[in-house]
């Protein structure tokens, strides 16, 4: 039947199917439950109470999620990518490690004006890199080494094992060591 404005309305007391000329299902509407889209008689997209499910590879020019909406990967939502309105997150919530794998001979770049590596809770700093400034190394959240305009500075003692040397000069002509 047609509705107002020339719309085509298809109604049924239960399911509605649209099939191609070779009797393959293209669209299947299961009562008030779901709408399924098929390609070559294989289900590729379905609606459900939780949202939608896609089978196979999805491609898009853009994919957007609102603030605090999450993009999940893994059957147990093991990996989350999201933005909470203030900060952006890549969170590994599953088993195993989070690996950033540069599998070619190219260089992996992390770009930021300041870079800090810290514990999960953020209570212990490991490395602190500051734009146009120092790089600081920490042990148990206490700064031990930092770069300066003059070179490298040690906050505490610089310890060497036995039979190791501090060598200075182009020909290593000054050596300090303990055997």
For residue range 22-66, what is the model confidence (pLDDT) as tens digits?
889 999 999 888 999 999 889 999 998 888 989 988 888 888 889
CA distance 38 to 46: 9
Q: How far is CA 105 from CA 99, 100, 101, 108, 111, in A?
A: 17, 14, 11, 9, 19
Residue 26 near residue 36, CB atoms below 8 Å: no
5-9, 62-66, 162-166, range with the lowest pLDDT: 5-9
Distance from C-alpha of 52 to C-alpha of 35, rounded to nearest angstrom:
10
Q: What is the pLDDT of residues 75-132, one digit of tens each?
A: 888 999 999 999 999 999 888 888 888 777 788 888 899 999 999 898 999 999 999 9
Residue 5: what are its φ and ψ, rounded to 5°?
Answer: 75, 15
Query: What is the distance between the alpha carbons of residues 21 and 100, in angstroms, rounded to a whole number?
Result: 47
Classify burial at 70, counting beta carbons within 10 Å of its beta carbon; exposed 0-12, middle 13-18, buried 19 or more: middle
Count CB neighbours of 117 within 10 A: 11
Query: For residue 47, what are the contacts with CB-CB under 8 A and spacing of at least 6?
Result: 34, 35, 36
């Amino acid at each position: 039947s047609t509705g107002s404005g020339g719309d085509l309305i298809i109604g049924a007391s239960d399911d509605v199917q649209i099939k191609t000329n070779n009797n393959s299902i293209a669209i299947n509407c299961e009562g008030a439950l779901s709408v399924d889209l098929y390609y070559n008689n294989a289900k590729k997209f379905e609606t459900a109470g939780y949202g939608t499910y896609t089978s196979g590879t999805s491609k898009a020019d853009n994919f957007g999620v609102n603030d605090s909406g999450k993009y999940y990967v893994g059957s147990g939502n093991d990996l989350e990518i999201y933005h909470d309105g203030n900060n952006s997150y890549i969170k590994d919530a599953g088993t195993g490690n989070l690996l950033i794998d540069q599998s070619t001979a190219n260089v992996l770049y992390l770009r930021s004006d300041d870079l800090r590596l810290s514990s999960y809770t953020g209570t212990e700093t490991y490395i602190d890199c500051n734009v146009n400034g120092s790089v600081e190394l920490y042990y148990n959240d206490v700064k031990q080494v930092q770069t300066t305009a003059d070179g490298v500075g040690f906050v505490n003692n610089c310890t060497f094992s036995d039979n190791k040397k501090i060598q200075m000069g182009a020909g290593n002509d000054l050596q300090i060591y303990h055997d």
